[in-house]
A and B are shown apart, each in its own frame.
Chain A
Amino acid sequence: MIMPATVSVQDLIKTYDKGKVLAVDKVSFEVKAGELFGLIGADGAGKSTIFRILTTVLLADSGSATLAGYDVVRDYREIRNRVGYMPGKFSLYQDLTVQENLEFFATVFGTTIEANMDLIKDIYDQIKPFSNRRAGKLSGGMKQKLALCCALIHKPEVLLLDEPTTGVDVVSRKEFWEMLKKLKAQGITIIVSTPYMDEAKLCERIALIQNGRIMSVDTPGNIIRAYPEKLFAAKSDDIYKLLKDFRNHPEVDRAFAFGEFIHISLKNAERTTLNAERSTLNAERSTLNAERTTVSSQLDILNRIAAENNHTGIQIKEIEPGIEDSFILLMGRNDITANP
């Protein structure tokens, strides 16, 4: 029976150093067959550990996981036959040429380069000119493509890519995601991890992870839609001062620098209809802010604050939140501050 290539993770816990370091904290998520799933989080969030548990090279302390219906502990041999893995640092044989690396991995997986050429052709064509160059002498982008080929060579059902775009130049990164989209079209389930928030929206569904905990699992669109407040972008001639002024103001809930602009949200500024918990909070605040404020009045408040602090060149507008905004919000919500 052919199992659909789904991945299921339930309450995974993993500690290191005799329990002193909690790397993975009750993580659960599901990946549908043929999905392009992203694990989004910073270094140390637990992404690599989860990957290692899924590829069966690491045992979790508790919890369970299955890949294509096989249990990662009991059926590890089956999984090792069906999964394509690209660990961080593009583990390639530095002293072997591109061609030799491919042939080696093909044979190890009991296949040949030609057998699955249709799958890897697009990527293979890009590295073919370098067939006789040693892997150690390739650029970061080329190594990335070679590593991807080696992971695909046996037509895996599930592809696990651990930070494949880290340390690679901006152009190659874009190309890589194009390749992933094409692969997805061939029916492979792909799980990618990345610390780059802008890559999150290239996935079908994502899991936001920080400090070993999953903060949210959903499509990027849904996560953004779930953003509870109105978000504004502001700038002035003195950005840093503006940031500080907003932060120090009692009516401002959060203000974060986002490049040219500052993203701000005010307190008592939900977009959606009444939230029972928040209404009690509202009651505690000063009467002036007891009502839900509308967009234009929020804009007024912000402009007022900026003007009060003698800013020039003020520009404030409402914006759609992005994944990074959601990530920051969720970090605060889950009380996953950066403090040790």
Chain B
Amino acid sequence: MKELWVFIRKEFKQVFRDPRTLLIMFGLPVAQIVLFGFALTSEVKNIDILIADNAKDIMSMQITDKIRANSYFIVQEKNIGGADIDRKFKEGSVQAVLIFPTGFSNDLMHEGKAGVQIITDGTDPNTAKTIENYLTNIISNYQREKFPSASLRYQILTEPRMLYNEEDNGSMNFIPGVMALILMLVCTALTSVSIVKEKELGTMEILLVSPFKPVMVLVAKAVPYFILSVINFTFILLLSVFLLHINIKGSVLLLYLESALFILTCLSLGLLISNATNAQQTALLISMMGMMLPTIILTGFIFPLENMPWILRTISNLVPSKWYFLIIKSVMLKGLGFQYVWKETLILVIMTTVLLTIALKKFKIRLQ
């Protein structure tokens, strides 16, 4: 037992003295979270909009104020004509133009309807549509405020709500997926590389020729990386909450337990990979590159699994991160309890057991 403890201590020392390992372990997750959560959102912000107010009456100015007050828009006001509008779009200095015709308020009050023109850049239809929607929303809200009683009978008012994401926080989509991806890559890679490193250096040989039970090598490698991965997970969690303003709706304890299980799954995978090769580079390649693509595609956080052909959907069932992703979403974002995720948890437990058993059986007590 004492030997095991000494081994674990040695592993910790080695990790903290190797800048490369530290970078992968802590630098990579931070970079990914910040990137995915912060920078890459599907929201559109900082929209340059030009408002050409030909009416300059109360209502047009009120609507303009509302748009100005919205943090997504950067408003310029100018009266310009068609050719200039074209030029501005070509320059790229505006993404949208809103035009109030003369007599806007008049038309609305006396004829019961008035039009505004919204022009957007169609070369990026997704963004254009989004901007259109924002503007339409703002105008509809204004309309409802101004004229609370419906002027049409049997009007169906749609009230969109995004469940679990009322604030329409775009990061929600990515964070659980990124968590799964990071834990999968980092744990697997570091564990497998660490074991193979011993083989490459020759220290594995000496360990084999000692009373130290070979299987203990695996355990001793797994423990430090397990602990460090849990710490890493805490790190990621804190970042998500404080930087990306995600609320953890469910039980934090359950979250930790499930994540601990998933980390174990990844470690087992790492152990299995380390049996397959004697070169660190190969281990790293298999763990990172080999695992990366299936994880990204088949976890379901970037591309919805429901859209994929049945064969890919079937294969995705073999990818542990897919199950973890489901669990995380349920617990963290929906606030569900264990009774809702016990099936997925069981699947992860089975996967871990199988991987671990194969890894232990294949661990060679001799070279070659």
User: Do A and B interact directly, with beta carbons closer than 8 Å?
Assistant: yes
Separation in Å of the B1 CB from the closest CB of chain A? 11
Separation in Å of the A147 CB from the closest CB of chain B? 9
CB-defined contacts of B3 to chain A, threshold 8 Å: 107-108, 110
- Chain A residue with Cβ nearest B6: A107
A108 touches B209 (CB 8 A): no
Separation in Å of the A135 CB from the closest CB of chain B? 10
B210 touches A109 (CB 8 A): yes
Per-residue A-contact encoding for B1-23, CB less than 8 Å = 1, 0 else? 01100110010011001100000
B10 touches A80 (CB 8 A): no
Contact A108-B212, Cβ < 8 Å, known A58-B366, A58-B367, A59-B366: yes
A80 touches B202 (CB 8 A): no
Per-residue A-contact encoding for B200-216, CB less than 8 Å = 1, 0 else? 01110111111110000
Number of residues from A at the complex interface, CB < 8 A: 31
Contact check: which of A52, A77, A88, A104 meets B6 at CB < 8 Å? A104
Contact A91-B202, Cβ < 8 Å, known A58-B367, A107-B2: yes
CB-defined contacts of B366 to chain A, threshold 8 Å: 56-59
Contact A85-B205, Cβ < 8 Å, known A96-B10, A108-B6: yes
- Chain A residue with Cβ nearest B15: A95
Number of A-B contacts (CB under 8 A): 79
Separation in Å of the A299 CB from the closest CB of chain B? 52
- Scan residues 145-170 of chain A and give those whose CB is less than 8 A from a CB of chain B: 150-151
Separation in Å of the B25 CB from the closest CB of chain A? 15
Contact check: which of A80, A94, A107 meets B209 at CB < 8 Å? A80
A195, CB-defined interface residue at 8 Å: no
Contact check: which of A89, A95, A96, A104 meets B202 at CB < 8 Å? A89
Contact check: which of A83, A93, A151 meets B10 at CB < 8 Å? A93
Compute how far the CA of A255 lies from the CA of B212 in the bound complex, rounded to whole angstroms: 53
Separation in Å of the B245 CB from the closest CB of chain A? 40
Contact check: which of B6, B14, B17, B209 meets A85 at CB < 8 Å? B209
Compute how far the CA of A56 lies from the CA of B205 in the bound complex, rounded to whole angstroms: 10
B209 touches A57 (CB 8 A): yes
Compute how far the CA of A87 lies from the CA of B6 in the bound complex, rounded to whole angstroms: 22
A103, CB-defined interface residue at 8 Å: yes
B206 touches A105 (CB 8 A): yes
Separation in Å of the A208 CB from the closest CB of chain B? 26
- Chain A residue with Cβ nearest B211: A81
A91 touches B201 (CB 8 A): yes
Contact A80-B208, Cβ < 8 Å, known A58-B366, A104-B10: yes
A96 touches B13 (CB 8 A): yes
Contact A52-B367, Cβ < 8 Å, known A96-B10, A100-B13, A109-B210: yes
Compute how far the CA of A52 lies from the CA of B367 in the bound complex, rounded to whole angstroms: 9
A39, CB-defined interface residue at 8 Å: no
Separation in Å of the A96 CB from the closest CB of chain B? 6
Per-residue B-contact encoding for A24-64, CB less than 8 Å = 1, 0 else? 00000000000000000000000000001001111100000
Separation in Å of the B20 CB from the closest CB of chain A? 11
- Chain A residue with Cβ nearest B205: A87
Q: How large is the interface on B (under 10, 10 to 19, 20 to 34, 35 or more residues)?
A: 20 to 34
B368, CB-defined interface residue at 8 Å: yes
B13 touches A95 (CB 8 A): yes
Contact check: which of B17, B208, B210, B367 meets A95 at CB < 8 Å? B17
Compute how far the CA of A77 lies from the CA of B366 in the bound complex, rounded to whole angstroms: 12
A92, CB-defined interface residue at 8 Å: yes
Separation in Å of the B97 CB from the closest CB of chain A? 62
Contact check: which of B203, B211, B367 meets A110 at CB < 8 Å? B211
Per-residue B-contact encoding for A66-102, CB less than 8 Å = 1, 0 else? 0000000000010011010101110111111000100
Compute how far the CA of A100 lies from the CA of B2 in the bound complex, rounded to whole angstroms: 15
Separation in Å of the A189 CB from the closest CB of chain B? 16
Contact check: which of A55, A93, A100, A107 meets B203 at CB < 8 Å? A93
B208 touches A96 (CB 8 A): no
- Chain A residue with Cβ nearest B208: A57
- Chain A residue with Cβ nearest B204: A91
Compute how far the CA of A58 lies from the CA of B366 in the bound complex, rounded to whole angstroms: 6
- Chain A residue with Cβ nearest B366: A57
Compute how far the CA of A77 lies from the CA of B10 in the bound complex, rounded to whole angstroms: 24
CB-defined contacts of A88 to chain B, threshold 8 Å: 202
Contact check: which of B14, B205, B211, B212 meets A93 at CB < 8 Å? B14
CB-defined contacts of A92 to chain B, threshold 8 Å: 203
Separation in Å of the A97 CB from the closest CB of chain B? 9
CB-defined contacts of B17 to chain A, threshold 8 Å: 95, 134
Compute how far the CA of A88 lies from the CA of B206 in the bound complex, rounded to whole angstroms: 11
**Further contacts, 16 of them, CB under 8 A, given A95-B17, A96-B10, A105-B206:** A57-B209, A59-B366, A59-B368, A80-B209, A87-B202, A87-B205, A88-B202, A89-B201, A91-B201, A91-B205, A93-B203, A95-B14, A100-B10, A107-B3, A110-B3, A150-B206
The interface of chain A, by Cβ under 8 A from chain B, is 52, 55-59, 77, 80-81, 83, 85, 87-89, 91-96, 100, 103-105, 107-110, 134, 150-151
- The 8 listed contacts between A and B (C-beta, < 8 Å) are A56-B209, A58-B366, A81-B210, A83-B209, A95-B18, A104-B6, A107-B3, A108-B3
